[in-house]
Amino acid sequence: MRSCEQALAILDGGLAEDRYARGRGFWRLTDGCQVTLIHAEDLARIKRRLGLSLDAGEHRRNLVVSGLARTELRGSEIRIGEALFEWHRVRPPCGYLDRVSGAGTAKALGRSSGHCLRVCKTGLINVGDRVFV
């Protein structure tokens, strides 16, 4: 995983250069996630409670957002920058996470492991863009 300042969300494809959009890396087509998102508050809570820091993409989610209730996204359209997304489902952690970030990481994330989104409108997203639900 790598951090970037800007990404292009592609209609029905995911983020340009991402493993889901390119069909590369560790994932399965049946995962059905074009874009994954996690809440910064959940990452902070895990760090406080368990001392587990998932910085620099170790959580294996595409986007990190803050200031939204987890339930606020369910069934919603989400605009970030120029792109429009549709909430698809909760994204449970996968076992591969333990291999790359250490044993117990997937369990620590549990129900706080993020969401799957579908791209409904192609557009650029940037670090710091506001999220509209």
pTM flag (> 0.85): no
What's the rounded Cα separation, in Å, for the pair 105 and 113? 10
What's the rounded Cα separation, in Å, for the pair 35 and 26? 15
Tens of pLDDT, residues 70-116: 778 888 999 999 999 999 998 877 777 677 666 677 777 777 678 99
Cα separations in angstroms, 70 against 37, 46, 87, 104, 124: 11, 15, 11, 22, 23
* Mean of per-residue pLDDT scores for the chain: 82
- List of residues 6+ apart from 109 with CB closer than 8 A: 42, 46, 54, 59, 93, 97
Tens of pLDDT, residues 31-71: 678 999 988 898 888 778 777 776 666 667 889 999 988 77
Q: Provide the pLDDT for residue 9.
A: 97
For residue 114, the tally of other CB atoms under 10 A from its CB is 27
Domains of the chain: 6-132 (2.40.33.20)
What's the rounded Cα separation, in Å, for the pair 124 and 93? 27
Q: Provide the pLDDT for residue 58.
A: 62
